[in-house]
Amino acid sequence: MHVYRNGSCVSSTIEPDAPIDISKFKHDTISCDPRSQSYWFYEKSADAFPGQAFGLQVDQILYHTKSPYQDILIFKSTTFGNVLVLNGIIQCTEKDEFAYQELITHVPIMSHPSPKKVLVIGGGDCGVIRELVKHVEDKSVESITMVEIDDMVIKLSTKYLPQMAKYHNHPKLNLIINDGFKFLRETKLKFDVIITDSSDPEGPAEEFFQVNYFKLLRNALNPRGIVIMQSSENIWLNLKYLKNLIKKCKFVFPNVKFCQCYMPSYTSGQLGLLIATTDETLDLTKPLRTFDRRKESQLFKYYNQFVHQSSFILPTWALDYLELDEKDA
């Protein structure tokens, strides 16, 4: 296990790159439009979102590598800024990353009465860390532990996504390069909030969407602790998969809610999140702590106390399907 603390993280090991000739660059997601001679990135998945794709025009290929864990592509788009792609799936763009980072961070933090110790599983772009630091400065969060398996994502984010990764070496951050499952199986530590910021459930990341993982999360929580994770799906994609994921989570946690944020760079423009706790009395849809409007504007670009509540409101057809018992179907 490699542990990086207090400024000794892996921030400056990526050397300056030679320019990448996009006309000679080969990648499954990049193609040339023969009519305009422009290059485009297309995110496609026959399993996750069949019959559709999301495209961005590419201005420049910034970096491409294959780490021991995944294919990593970073490109500059013409409209969304720099874009991080893992295994062909967009993880974040400079234009809209704050929406996801803020909702997955502030919903559990603002729902917890005393979120002193926070664990982040994944999150190599360090966007969640940036958001958690706001609560460190506010004296509500005392320590942050982040477990990321692929240090290459952290290294590249510090160079190409500096506004997201600017707190990768914060003194309150204990950064551990390790497998999240291994850490959860072995740790004796307990946390008030656990944020799972994993890749989509394909390949090794699929384990993050199973009952055994939810059990590990519960075991690492303090009483009244809260966990949150991206669901991979939203109501416009595979609603059946989403319902099954919620069912798995409810097998472990008695109090489970689904919320969503607007994300134009994610296929269908939304991303769902599951939030859960063992505290059946806690209303996760309403923040326990709130800031006044002026402070919200200073701290956040997306989140506020009303967005917190409204993110749990679903349209009728989706709500009916997710709440319908199988025996009544």
Catalytic residue numbers, as ranges:
197
Q: Left, alpha or beta for 210 (phi > 0: left; psi -120 to 50: alpha)?
A: beta
Asked whether the beta carbons of 2 and 176 are under 8 A apart, the reply is yes
* Tokens 């806690």, located at residue: 282
Write the burial class of residue 19 (CB in 10 Å: 0-12 exposed, 13-18 middle, 19+ buried): exposed
DSSP 129-158: HHHHHHHHHTTS--EEEEEES-HHHHHHHH
How far apart (Å, rounded) are the C-alpha atoms in residues 266 and 92? 9
- C-alpha R_g of the chain: 19
SS3 assignment, position 180: helix
